Amino acid sequence: MRSHLGMLVFLSACTGKEAITSPHVAEFVQPPTLDDQDPDDGRFSGQITAAPATLEITGDPVEFLTFNGSIPGPQIRVKAGDQVAIHFTNGLPDDMWDTAIHWHGIEGYNSSDGTPVSQVATAVGDSFDYEFTATRAGIYWYHPHHRGAQALFSGLYGPLIVEDPAEAELTSLGILPADDRVVVLSDTWTAGGVVTSAEVDDAMEIMNGTEGRDLLVNGQVDPVLEVGANSAVRLRLINSSITRFWRLSVPDHVLSRVGGEGGLLDRVRVEGGTIEGERFDPETGESVGTVEVDLGYARGEIVLAPGERADVVLVTDGQPGEEWSLRWEDFARGRHGMWMEGDEMVMGDAEDDGTRPGEEVARFRLVETDADPFTIAEGDPVLLAVDRTVGQIDATGALEWFGAEGTTLDEQMDMIQEENGSWSMTTWFGMNGESWHPDHHMGADQEEAPTAKHAALGDVIRWEVHNQSMMAHPYHLHGFSYQPYELVYWPDPEDEASDGTAVRVPFTWDEYQDTSLLPPFSSVFFTVKLNDPEGNGSAAGRWMQHCHILQHGENGMMSELVVAP
């Protein structure tokens, strides 16, 4: 039986229930902007406190955990190259837990990474100072890594936007819209005025991950966003859910991607639909033709796994008074189910995986504007419009971590028949065959993960992360941004109808990422350079790598990259 944790009474969440759309409609609001207390250019200083707050997000008063009293927490907005200092105070109740802040995607400042291997969590009533330089423009966010699943489900997350120096010029050129909105996507489940528990012992819920009943956009249920008609709006999207994949669509309209986790792209991309891949023999590497790969979502939609972000543009080519729906649609990610076939228990994809009813999560209301008409198309220049490119990491002399030398994502689920004839379910998660999660209270003094990777500052690595499971997993690397160059779909070993060939899909564009969605039985290959931004060894240390379905990571799908000076 679960004990009460502080002022929140956590009840077991049931992921099998359908999401309920609330009739509550709110005006779309931006996350509040954190005050900059440092007047000097190139520096940002702010204060963040974690504390409970009672909010009427879902129509009834509910006690959440918050950063600075809001969900999401305050928006931190800085420019690339700015030095950032955040004074954090743990204002949670005395009977709750120690915590910290992880700056998701920020590179090279190990002492400020906010994980159980980089710092001892800040005790209730105490403070900690985080300092880092925002080295790369892009969309980032922050959240606790100590008891992360429950912390996020309860409301502890916020956006961090690092602006590119070319954004003002790109806006003046009509490449980017002037209307710029931060959109934080999350979900939660509340009952009786409290948040339910994501720290569950139900094996199926752990395997599939806890999903909230209420889908939130900037902490609101179905908000209305007024946008100028015959213009465009820029949406900086962040998926802060602990499990939920956000497949977003605006019916009959296109979400064009201009950037992502590590900043703006060279050219506009329209994603989804099908792409061409090369079939090959995995034993010999010999090519055996081409094949169309269905990505599982429609062209012009966007899919964000937990932890992922995207910078998109929606052209509002309609008349004042029109209302368009922003919709969540289900995405087939390999949610599991188990059933009996004769005397045997069988596991496979849940019957409703990818087919659950979609729902509106926000609405665009077109209003009069004096803005100029806006057009955007796939292939249009973005960074190229100001004579810049993302560029590629020089992989000359790179270490190669492929196959067993790389990282594997492992999971297992079994049914055990008890002596009384009843069945019980077990789950297991790991990386490279080992299940590991750090102690929340020991910091850098605890033993390394048994499958930790070792490298040194300045190394360049060509790295394979191989998802060996029948479920999609979002892989996240701390401390360093990488450039994916190839995705390989391996044959399903359980599929008797498979011809045994694999499919190779190259990345035909350059970008930096820190979180990547790996479909079942697939590998992502990327190049990463272990940069030290200060040149003083600040990037040396223990950096986590893990699945960002947080219950998977916290149950063992986690390891480390240990970087020597």
Give the separation between CA 9 and CA 199, rounded to whole angstroms: 12
Helices and strands (H, E) in the chain, number of each type: 4, 37
The matching CATH number, chosen from 2.60.40.420, 1.20.210.10, 3.90.440.10, 1.10.565.10, for 399-564 is 2.60.40.420
Cis link prior to 72 (omega < 30° from 0)? yes
Q: What pLDDT does residue 22 have? A: 40
What pairing do the DSSP bridges indicate for beta strands 274-280 and 62-67?
unpaired
Q: What pLDDT does residue 137 have? A: 98
Q: What pLDDT does residue 25 have? A: 62
Q: What pLDDT does residue 8 have? A: 39
Give the separation between CA 527 and CA 524, rounded to whole angstroms: 10
Give the separation between CA 36 and CA 311, rounded to whole angstroms: 24
Segment 380-398, tens digit of pLDDT: 999 999 999 999 999 999 9
Low-confidence ranges of the chain (pLDDT < 50): 1-24
Beta strands in 418-547 (DSSP E): 423-431, 453-456, 460-467, 473-477, 482-489, 502-506, 515-518, 522-529, 541-547
Q: What pLDDT does residue 339 have? A: 72
Closest-CA residue to 510 (of 481, 480, 485): 485
Give the separation between CA 163 and CA 263, rounded to whole angstroms: 8
Q: What pLDDT does residue 345 have? A: 64
Q: What pLDDT does residue 6 have? A: 36
Length of the chain as a residue count: 565
Q: What pLDDT does residue 23 have? A: 45
Rounded to the nearest 10°, the torsion over CA 100, 102, 106, 107 is 80
Give the separation between CA 6 and CA 29, rounded to whole angstroms: 30
pTM: 0.94
